[in-house]
């Protein structure tokens, strides 16, 4: 058992080291070339033209690389992206991820309705004890920047329509690439109003 654990630990750190190499060797200029076909939906600068498509600008590189590989490998089902990243190597994923991560993030104008803003702020910063909802800020950070080393994505400035849609997808079990089902657990405890409020709040959070 101890031997198994020890070899597991070595394998895990080897995987971690391989990722660190891919990240440190990531080439944003090469990523820019490979990102040309993405512009139609995600924008040349990573700010998408519609709420149906997530912004990629300023997102954590580690998170973007994981999503690209998850979509490529069929661990996250995005029908609109059929064929887009099928031929990407892991290095291609990191190159494109680094390109978008370095772009200036979007910042939206939240709906100022006081009750909606207050409810969003409360959920984001404190969670909801009665519902067993943790504070989003614990993982997504108080400013919504996320935590790159932990692969926790930024939410700041993300399109509200997309945030609601992806929370619904987690709740319905349609999006299943969250480690330990962390977001599926959280999203199933959220009401429509909770989702709307938090999506509105993070739009203007920075
Ligand atoms: C035809 C439109 C379209 C094109 C072209 C496209 N995407 Fe997407 N992409 C989407 C949609 C729609 C989603 C969100 C799907 C969902 O709701 O889960 C998405 C999601 C993503 C995500 C996840 C973002 C997040 O916040 O979780 C990444 C990363 C991504 N795309 C990268 C790319 C890259 C890289 C390219 C180009 C090689 C590309 N996309 C081309 C439509 C597109
Ligand atoms: C314990 C850590 C943790 C907490 C607490 C947490 N999240 Fe997450 N969240 C994650 C992780 C990890 C992911 C990325 C999953 C993946 O790899 O696809 C994520 C992804 C998301 C996404 C998808 C981002 C995108 O671009 O597609 C949204 C939206 C989100 N979380 C909202 C919330 C909200 C709202 C709360 C609070 C009610 C919350 N999260 C609390 C860890 C957390």
Atom 34, ligand 1: residue with shortest CA distance: 38
**Token pair belonging to 170:** 């987690």
- Cα 202 to Cα 81: distance, rounded to the nearest angstrom: 25
Residue with tokens 């987690």: 170
Residue 6 CA to ligand 2 center (angstroms) comes to 31
Residue 56 CA to ligand 1 center (angstroms) comes to 8
CB of residue 65 inside a 6 A radius of ligand 1: no
Q: Which atom of ligand 2 lies nearest, measured to the CA of 66?
A: 17
Q: Which of 45, 69, 67 is nearest to 57 (CA)?
A: 45
Question: How do residues 142-188 score in pLDDT, each as one tens digit?
Answer: 999 999 999 999 999 999 999 999 999 999 999 999 999 999 999 99
Starting from the CA of residue 146, give the closest ligand: 2
User: Is the CA virtual torsion 192, 193, 198, 200 positive or negative?
Assistant: positive
CB of residue 20 inside a 6 A radius of ligand 2: no
Question: How do residues 50-78 score in pLDDT, each as one tens digit?
Answer: 999 999 999 999 999 999 999 999 999 99
Starting from the CA of residue 184, give the closest ligand: 2
What radius of gyration, in Å, describes the C-alpha atoms of the chain?
Answer: 18
- Cα 187 to Cα 197: distance, rounded to the nearest angstrom: 13
Q: State the average pLDDT over residues 25-40.
A: 96
Q: Which of 30, 119, 25, 100 is nearest to 58 (CA)?
A: 100
**Token pair belonging to 177:** 């690439």
Number of neighbouring beta carbons within 10 Å of residue 80: 8
- Cα 131 to Cα 133: distance, rounded to the nearest angstrom: 5
- pLDDT (0 to 100) of residue 13: 54
Residue 118 CA, distance from chain mean position: 24
- Cα 120 to Cα 187: distance, rounded to the nearest angstrom: 14
- pLDDT (0 to 100) of residue 23: 87
Residue with tokens 């998850």: 70
User: Taking a C-beta distance cutoff of 8 angstroms, is the pair 28, 99 a contact?
Assistant: yes
Question: How do residues 80-136 score in pLDDT, each as one tens digit?
Answer: 999 999 999 999 999 999 999 999 999 888 999 999 999 999 999 999 999 999 999
User: Taking a C-beta distance cutoff of 8 angstroms, is the pair 49, 43 a contact?
Assistant: yes
Residue 132 CA to ligand 1 center (angstroms) comes to 31
- Cα 70 to Cα 100: distance, rounded to the nearest angstrom: 17
Starting from the CA of residue 151, give the closest ligand: 2
Given a cut of 60, whether residue 6 has pLDDT beyond it is no
Residue 82 CA to ligand 1 center (angstroms) comes to 10
Residue 192 CA, distance from chain mean position: 20
- pLDDT (0 to 100) of residue 19: 77
User: Taking a C-beta distance cutoff of 8 angstroms, is the pair 83, 128 a contact?
Assistant: no
Residue 42 CA to ligand 1 center (angstroms) comes to 7
């Amino acid at each position: 058992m101890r031997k198994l654990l020890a070899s597991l630990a070595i394998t895990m750190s080897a995987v971690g080291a391989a990722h660190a190499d891919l990240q440190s060797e990531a080439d944003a200029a090469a990523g820019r070339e490979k990102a040309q076909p993405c512009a139609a939906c995600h924008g040349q600068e990573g700010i998408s033209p519609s709420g149906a498509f997530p912004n990629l600008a300023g997102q954590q590189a580690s998170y973007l690389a994981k999503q690209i590989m998850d979509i490529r490998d069929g661990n996250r089902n995005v029908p609109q992206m059929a064929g887009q990243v099928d031929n990407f190597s892991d290095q291609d994923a990191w190159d494109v991820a680094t390109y978008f991560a370095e772009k200036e993030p979007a910042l939206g104008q939240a709906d100022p309705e006081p009750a909606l803003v207050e409810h969003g702020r409360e959920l984001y910063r404190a969670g909801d004890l009665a519902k067993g909802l943790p504070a989003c800020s614990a993982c997504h950070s108080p400013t919504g920047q996320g935590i790159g080393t932990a692969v926790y994505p930024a939410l700041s400035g993300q399109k509200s329509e997309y945030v609601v849609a992806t929370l619904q997808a987690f709740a319905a079990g349609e999006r299943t690439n969250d480690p330990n089902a962390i977001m599926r657990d959280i999203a199933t405890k959220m009401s429509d109003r909770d989702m709307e409020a938090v999506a509105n709040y993070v739009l203007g959070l920075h």
